[in-house]
Chains A and B, each alone.
Chain A
């Protein structure tokens, strides 16, 4: 039982309580903490409201926009939100993540942001084919497109240009990493890798949500250090860091996810209670 036992309930911010959120609620209660779901649909706050006495919130909101704004509201109310609004903003936007990784000097695929589909065509040619186009916001490999040549790029970018959303006109392009059939997911909690797995898939996108197969793994010390530094670069206390080895043998950071889905990682690690580990490291250490 941690030092927090008996204090205010730990709030789990969510509009959708899935298996991961249920595991966290169970782990909190087993750890002797009061725990409640904070329904984001009921949340509102005046800008001039004074800060309250504080408290701890685990930010598990599935919608990126609401996760970020809700975190700002709760932080203004004096609460500690994990992950913070700043971390949610950085991790939830692939370009901001790329900038954070670059500032920290961490290895990542070459990445370009183009301010229009026309500029994206030039950027794609400069990066070299194949090249990967990703939505700035989004997960699970959705709308991530591998473009093999200039002709495909022209076609895809024509579709991009036809999108009504202003954000869709800003194009995130990344060097294609020819992975050796798998990539890595490391769960970093407060500066330590608590579990890692290899993800395999027939699809070039290895996301578990796309049916990727997983197996547990132990990272070598350099890769472990890289995962921890990537989480730190984005300010995320809880981070799902995706890494991949390229054909030259260098390990690159692909993404840092702020609302980690850990069902796949849990399946790969029978002997480890991942939710309890997160609770121990976050709630046990909360001030």
Chain B
């Protein structure tokens, strides 16, 4: 399953069963992408790290 990176417009390949909000990495630009739809597969740039993010 593939889609297009919104940053560099290269093809991004998703795993067999992508999950909503799954984080993918664009192999071309190394951008962090978030799955925003699984059918059809759509990705957006993942949110930036927030102040309270962590382990």
Contacts and interface: CB of A to CB of B under 8 A. Distances in A.
B21 A240 contact: no
Q: Most B CB atoms within 10 A — which of A64, A257, A260?
A: A64
B49 to A, nearest CB: 8
Interface string A1-27: 000000000000011111100100100
A25 B19 contact: yes
Given A16-B34, A16-B46, A137 B21 contact: no
Nearest to A168: B51
Size category of the B interface is: 10 to 19
Nearest to A136: B52
Interface string B3-41: 000000000000100011111000000000011000000
Nearest to A258: B55
Interface in B39-55: 46-47, 50-55
B30 to A, nearest CB: 15
A39 B54 contact: no
Contacts of B52: 63-65, 92, 137-138
B20 A17 contact: yes
A258 B54 CA distance: 9
Specify the main secondary structure of chain B where it touches its partner: loop
A33 interface: no
A240 B55 contact: yes
B19 to A, nearest CB: 5
Interface residues of A, number: 26
A198 interface: no
Given A16-B34, A16-B46, A139 B53 contact: yes
Given A16-B34, A16-B46, A22 B22 contact: yes
Nearest to A255: B55
B25 to A, nearest CB: 10
Interface string A144-156: 0000000000000
Interface string A116-149: 0000000000000000000001111010000000
B27 to A, nearest CB: 16
A37 interface: yes
Interface of A: 14-19, 22, 25, 37, 39, 62-65, 92, 137-140, 142, 240, 257-261
9 contacts: A15-B21, A17-B19, A17-B22, A19-B23, A22-B19, A37-B20, A39-B21, A138-B54, A259-B54
Given A17-B19, A64-B52, A92-B52, 17 more contacts: A14-B21, A16-B21, A16-B34, A16-B47, A19-B23, A37-B21, A39-B21, A62-B54, A64-B53, A138-B51, A138-B53, A139-B53, A140-B54, A142-B54, A257-B54, A258-B55, A259-B55
